[in-house]
Amino acid sequence: MASFYQIISLVLNIFLFILMARVLLSWIPDVDYSNPLVRLLYDITEPILRPVRNMIPPTSGMDISPIVVFLIVYVLLRLLRF
């Protein structure tokens, strides 16, 4: 059973790194969104970010959905360690 939690923890940690890469890419102007790597990052993260973005719309032009998702994943990781 412990290995199941380790696998879930690994998947969540990888997702956090992918989400961080997407956030960092959003700060770079003139990113080529047709690049396969950039497209992959968006394809992985968008299904998670979209529902959060629908519940919490951008405030003053700033999208805080990645912050909310980071917090949710962090809480899940903490719960898995108990």
- The rounded distance, in Å, linking the Cα atoms of 10 and 62 is 29
| Whole-structure pTM value | 0.87
**Count of domains observed in the chain:** 1
Domain that holds residue 25: 2-80
Residue 58: what are its φ and ψ, rounded to 5°?
-55, 135
Alpha-carbon dihedral angle through residues 33, 36, 40, 28, given to the nearest 10 degrees: -40
Instruction: Give pLDDT tens digits for 10-59.
Output: 999 999 999 999 999 989 988 898 999 999 999 999 999 999 999 998 88
Grade residue 1 by pLDDT with cuts at 50, 70 and 90.
low
* CA dihedral over 65, 66, 72, 75, signed as positive or negative: negative
Q: Which two tokens stand for residue 60?
A: 């003053």
What pLDDT, on the 0 to 100 scale, is given for residue 4? 87
